[in-house]
Amino acid sequence: MLLWATFMPFCSLTLLDVTTAAVTVYNQVPLGIASAISSTATVAAAYNNTVLNPPPIPSPAPATSFTLSIPSVNMSVPQSKLSIPIPGAFYGFSIEMSVITQLFGTNSTFIQPPLLNLFSNIAQRAGSINVRIGGNTQEFAFYVPTLPENRAISKQNTDSNNPTETPAVIYTMDLFYMLSNISSHVDVRWYIGVPFNDTSDFRLQIVEYSEAILGDNLIGVQVGNEPDLYSAHKHRNKTYGPADYTAEVGLLIEAFAADPNIPVKNKLIGPSVSGTWTPEQVFDAGFITNYTDSLGAISVEHYPTDNCFAVYGFGVFNDPQVEFVRFLNHSFVVSLVQPYLNAASIAQAAGKPFLMFETNSASCGGFPGLSDSFGAVLWALDYGLQMAYSNFSGANLHVGGQNVFYNPFTAPPTNQSKYFEWTIGAVYYSALVSAEVFGKTNTAQIMDLGGNNTSDVFTPQYAIYENGTLARVGLFNYITDPSGASDYTATISVTGGTVPSSVQVKYLLSDSVSTKNNITWANQTLGTVRQVDGRFKGNQNLVTISCDTSANTCQIPVSAPAFALVFLTHEEDISSVTFSTTAYTNTAGTATVAPGVLSTSNGMSGKDWQPGSTSNEKVKIGAAMHLRMSLGSVFVGAIVAGLLLGHWE
């Protein structure tokens, strides 16, 4: 049971010198986590309470009022300033295989209810949610028919000759039933990865079983994770280059062709390079031209910076406070995306979606006080919108274990799950809000309104067209200023059309970019450390702002700091459904279960439903149920569940 603590759910070594990257990291005990979980869980990185100083108010300060004249229809925007259509599921999650047991559950019978709620929040807004399972640990993964305690996943250090001692993830067929069962409750689409440590034995069971069990919910198969680091990680020899990787992808395609249990052969995703090679180097080796019929998408992976020195003592020391200032400036996200503009257009010309397959604030676990702050919420949202503006079609925020600062969500350690609940991480809110920015229609086109000019790097703005018509405007304020002097008012004016008589605004708020626990979206929050069950708390508040139709303007106030999402068109059904349950365990705390799980799993059926009450004032339909469920061998107890169906308008 202590393995989770000594295992680094691994971050990318993106920015490391290749000669120093090949260090033993998997067997280290990071960040002082020692043997006794209960006494150390409070100081694991995911619960770290470091608070940084918000950057000072800039001088000169940005304008406190400005006008945005936005064309009413996409046809009036120069093509070069408008993105391709962006799916609502743009921001998904990348989940290291080794933490699946903590986050998903032990096997297909026992799925963590808070996870379903957290996925469901996004799927309701986006139409669906994309989740990648993989990471460095996918490379050595292998299938076994059964595992002790009927687990779906375990791990084993098989690779003792290898300096990084990358553990092998061991899985049974039940892993795919688990994923499938999750998809039967929430519309989750999955990316998996083919083990690529040994090109003479690709161990294709993961693809065979995914295709057989997940069907269309399998949306992509990654071929090689950060192959540009294979040499540094001693997984390939020193001369290994883009042409070698490309040739190996060819071997995999041959193996697919020869495997009758892999009927779908055209969902491959690569090259997933992390910055040591450029994507163009791999394209030049024939990656797209040779394999276009096999490729479902083109991918890269990138972390803006790293915290490796603080954690492992190699690389250079990056001061979180200095990094914090760098992150809270729109030019930073523009600079992060810039190196990929050419590759994105090559992918587009080839008719392939371009994906940021794995990212987060900093590799080697992120920074204390930065990665888990409201500032990171604003940064990751701006980064996502900027990627979309640059014609990325998706990005996956990486999720590790207890020992990283950047998690979008963290499950309690398995043996504490009856005492503590989940912890939400800052960037979960970025994914959630991004889902509302793009919406469900898959027609959203986004335009950066120019906030990267030097005068307004702290107040970037975006316009979103849906189905060809201006639908939403997103307004950032990166500054922290409790005096109110740095609040601004954006005047929205529609060219070639008229503003509606009123607009509705949802605000993403906290007191400071430094805070972690008091983050609200439209006045609702998921809760503080170990208080999260995946449901929103508080009353939703949509602010209605009257517009001046004769002047054709709407004046939108944006406090410092904040993000405001202005809805110019009537929104049919955003965030309308909330599933809600409360479980009483045999000890303390609560756990929640999405009602679909209750109705179909754990021996439940509809006859057990009983009426119940709830605190959510938006409730239209309520129901409750009692059941017993067990978690591993631990009896959890009676559960009272309520199904809520609410509309915010």
Ligand X SMILES: *[C@@H]1O[C@H](CO)[C@@H](O)[C@H](O)[C@H]1NC(C)=O
**Residues in the site for ligand X, rule: CB under 6 A?**
31, 43, 48-50, 58, 74-75, 79, 82, 106-110, 140, 142, 149-150, 158, 168, 174, 177, 180-181, 184, 197-198, 236-237, 239-240, 244, 250, 286, 289-290, 329, 331-332, 334-335, 368, 441, 443, 445, 452-454, 457, 467-468, 509-511, 518, 520, 523, 538-539, 541, 632
What minimum distance in Å lies between the beta carbon of 303 and ligand X?
16
* Neighbour-count burial for 59-97, b at 16+ CB within 10 Å, e otherwise: eeebeeebebebbbebeebeeeebbbbbbbbbbbbbbbb
- Residue 389 three-state SS: helix
What minimum distance in Å lies between the beta carbon of 112 and ligand X?
13
What minimum distance in Å lies between the beta carbon of 106 and ligand X?
6
For residues 122 and 141, what is the distance between their CA atoms, to the nearest angstrom? 29
What minimum distance in Å lies between the beta carbon of 93 and ligand X?
20
Q: Which is nearer to ligand X, 327 or 550 (CB)?
A: 327
Q: Which is nearer to ligand X, 49 or 610 (CB)?
A: 49
Q: What is the SS3 string spanning 285-307? A: CCHHHHHCCCEEEEEEECCCEEC
Please answer whether residues 191 and 133 qualify as being in contact, where contact means their C-beta atoms are separated by less than 8 angstroms.
yes
Q: For 638, how many CA atoms within 13 A lie in the half-sphere containing its CB?
A: 5
What minimum distance in Å lies between the beta carbon of 52 and ligand X?
11
- Residue 206 three-state SS: helix
What minimum distance in Å lies between the beta carbon of 572 and ligand X?
9
Q: Which is nearer to ligand X, 58 or 622 (CB)?
A: 58
| Two structure tokens written together for 414 | 């398995």
For residues 513 and 510, what is the distance between their CA atoms, to the nearest angstrom? 7
- Residue 442 three-state SS: coil
Please answer whether residues 132 and 95 qualify as being in contact, where contact means their C-beta atoms are separated by less than 8 angstroms.
yes
* Neighbour-count burial for 474-501, b at 16+ CB within 10 Å, e otherwise: bbbbbbbbeeeebbbebebbbeebebbe
What minimum distance in Å lies between the beta carbon of 320 and ligand X?
8
What minimum distance in Å lies between the beta carbon of 550 and ligand X?
27
Please answer whether residues 461 and 367 qualify as being in contact, where contact means their C-beta atoms are separated by less than 8 angstroms.
no
User: Which helix or strand (DSSP H or E) is residue 637 part of?
Assistant: strand 634-645
- Residue 187 to residues 93, 118, 127, 395, Cα–Cα distance (Å): 14, 12, 7, 17
Q: Which is nearer to ligand X, 551 or 603 (CB)?
A: 603
Question: Cα angle vertex 12, ends 10, 13, to 5°?
Answer: 115
> What does the DSSP assignment read for 112-179?
-HHHHHHHHHHHHHHSSEEEEEESGGGGG-EE-S--GGG-SEEEE---TTSTT-PPEEEE-THHHHHH
The residues with which 422 forms a beta bridge, in sequence order, are 532
The residues with which 107 forms a beta bridge, in sequence order, are 110
Q: Sheet containing 168-171: which strands, arranged edge to edge?
A: 142-143, 168-171, 153-156
The residues with which 221 forms a beta bridge, in sequence order, are 192, 268
What minimum distance in Å lies between the beta carbon of 69 and ligand X?
18
Rg of the chain taking only CA atoms, in angstroms: 24
Question: Cα angle vertex 269, ends 267, 274, to 5°?
Answer: 175
Please answer whether residues 448 and 460 qualify as being in contact, where contact means their C-beta atoms are separated by less than 8 angstroms.
yes
Q: Which is nearer to ligand X, 444 or 624 (CB)?
A: 444
Neighbours of 571 (CB within 10 A): 19
Q: Which is nearer to ligand X, 61 or 553 (CB)?
A: 61
Please answer whether residues 478 and 381 qualify as being in contact, where contact means their C-beta atoms are separated by less than 8 angstroms.
no
Q: For 187, how many CA atoms within 13 A lie in the half-sphere containing its CB?
A: 12
Q: Which is nearer to ligand X, 414 or 541 (CB)?
A: 541
Q: Which is nearer to ligand X, 4 or 507 (CB)?
A: 507
Residue type, 267: K
Alpha helices in 390-450 (DSSP H): 426-438
Neighbours of 327 (CB within 10 A): 28
What minimum distance in Å lies between the beta carbon of 554 and ligand X?
20
Q: Which is nearer to ligand X, 523 or 553 (CB)?
A: 523
Using Cβ positions, the residue closest to ligand X within the complex turns out to be: 286
For residues 582 and 593, what is the distance between their CA atoms, to the nearest angstrom? 7
